[in-house]
Amino acid sequence: MRINPDQLITFAHVVREGGIGAAARARHLTQPAVSNQLRQLQSIIGEPLYRRQGRGIALTGAGQQLYRHAQALADALHEAEAFALALASVDSGRVRIAASQTLGAYILPAALAEFRIVAPQIEIILESHNSQSVLDHIDTCDIGLIEGPVGHASAAVHFSAQPLGNDTIVAVVPRHHRLAARRALTLTDVADEPIILREAGSGTRELVEAAFAQAGLTPRVCMTLAGVAAVIEASRQGLGIGFLSSLALRHEGEHVIGIPLRPNLRRKLTLLAANQPSRAAERFIAFLKDFLIRTPAAPTGLEAQTEPQRRRRLKSMKSMGS
């Protein structure tokens, strides 16, 4: 006969409460039910576990050893109940996020700062990759954030794709570039310029390459760089024209600007959520959707400049052309 966990927990209560009557009240059982569990437990062990001593009990050697195991079980059950209670609360827990480099670096930090105020007990673990790597790592996370569609990734089996909004790709040039005064550019305008692309696996790169191919153009790729920051810095140094999400230029207006493309080069922002998300993950998802609605789009092109800056820039461009 195997030991029933309820028998051990009842035994732990009898020892801790100092008697069968008190243990019965603590366990919400009748005294006969408690006595029956103790008899069954002693029968399984094969030795007396305690002796009555006045109104209480005194443990035998076997009883003292068994009590250590019974108390450990009772403690583990208490911890499991506390854990379940914490999970039932949307104000605590842990959310692991895998995000593309653009979203991870330029959208999530502001969102997380605000989320921490409203839900300080929820721990956020953020990993940043390019879009393909996010899909490769998604099975270890609660939430994935990428630019563009999921495609045929196997992760789609365990995660549902939800739209988060739209993203616009812009041409990134330094402020002194001869094209910087343009309100918009076509791919033909930049086809003969040195082009800086993101690394393979980047959703931005895939979209830009597809757009050039659809236009029947072959870009003059001068370098391939890993990461958004590297593309911005290379463009700032005048090494070529980069292509990035307008979101990445929200705080880069001093040295580089993003010029919209015509036709617009847009894509969907996609959130991947586990099919059975935790309450903490559900709360963060709801918060993030609301945050993105409230967050203004990144300024692009000449809109990123103040009006006096714009007039001076246009005047400078005209004088250079004369």
Does pLDDT of 173 surpass 90?
yes
Give exposure, 273-297, as e/b (b: 16+ Cβ within 10 Å). bbeebbbbbbbbbebbeebbeeeee
What pLDDT band is residue 130 in, cutting at 50, 70 and 90? confident
pLDDT value at residue 166: 84
92-101 pLDDT, tens digit per residue, is 688 999 999 8
How many other C-beta atoms lie within 10 A of the C-beta of residue 161?
A: 18
Does pLDDT of 302 surpass 50?
no
- For the chain, give every domain's residue range: 5-88, 93-321
For residues 311-320, average pLDDT: 49
Domain 5-88 has CATH 1.10.10.10: yes
188-240 pLDDT, tens digit per residue, is 999 999 999 999 988 899 999 999 999 999 999 999 999 899 999 999 999 99
pLDDT value at residue 86: 59
d(CA 264, CA 260): 7
Fold of 93-321: D-Maltodextrin-Binding Protein; domain 2 (3.40.190)
- Beta-bridged to residue 258, according to DSSP, are 172
Pairing between β-strand 241-245 and β-strand 93-100 as defined by DSSP bridges: unpaired
d(CA 160, CA 267): 18
d(CA 28, CA 21): 10
Q: Do 20 and 14 contact (CB within 8 A), yes or no?
A: yes
The CA dihedral of 21, 23, 25, 30, to the nearest 10 degrees, is: -70
